[in-house]
Amino acid sequence: MSNIATIRLCNLIFYGYHGALAEENSLGQRFEIDLEYQFDCDRAVNTDQLRETISYTDIYDIIQETVSQNQFKLLETLGNCIIKTIREKYTVFSIRIKIRKPSVPIPGVLDYVEVELSWCSAADDS
């Protein structure tokens, strides 16, 4: 039986230039991100070695780089890019990401808009 680890990075805050409007692309704004991933951690728990796990520091770096070095119109595309990059580098069972945009151009009162994307290896067609 395998040990399955779930690691969560909660309320990460980055500045980026994502959005459908020209002002969002030129002025930028704050984005809040939660990310959860699951993987087989048998080797990590049996060796107690960092090289045998999927370090949350490395995942943080992927998120930070993707948010700050790219520009997307849709939060869905931003989230998909983060998921794709993690999947290309690591063997994971699932990834769930939530991206919150506190400053949205909506003429009303709200805390934020949030997009959630999920990927699971069982749902992968490739």
Residue 119 lies in a domain: no
Domain of residue 45, CATH code: 3.30.1130.10
Task: Tell me what the pLDDT averaged over the chain comes to.
Answer: 93
Average pLDDT on 18-42 reads 93
pLDDT of residue 42 exceeding 90: yes
Calpha distance 89→93 (Å, rounded): 13
* Residue range 63-104, pLDDT digits in tens: 999 999 999 999 999 999 999 999 999 999 999 999 999 988
pLDDT of residue 8 exceeding 70: yes
Calpha distance 92→109 (Å, rounded): 38
Predicted TM-score (pTM) of this structure: 0.92
Q: Which domain holds residue 45?
A: 4-113
Residue 58 lies in a domain: yes
Size of the chain, expressed as the number of residues it contains: 126
Residue 19 lies in a domain: yes
Residue 26 lies in a domain: yes
Q: Which of 73, 89, 98, 101 is catalytic?
A: 101
For residue 101, indicate whether it is catalytic. yes
Residue 83 lies in a domain: yes
Q: Are 62 and 89 in contact (CB under 8 A)?
A: yes
Residue 89 lies in a domain: yes
* Residue range 44-71, pLDDT digits in tens: 999 999 999 999 999 999 999 999 999 9
Calpha distance 106→21 (Å, rounded): 12
Instruction: Give me the number of domains the chain comprises.
Output: 1
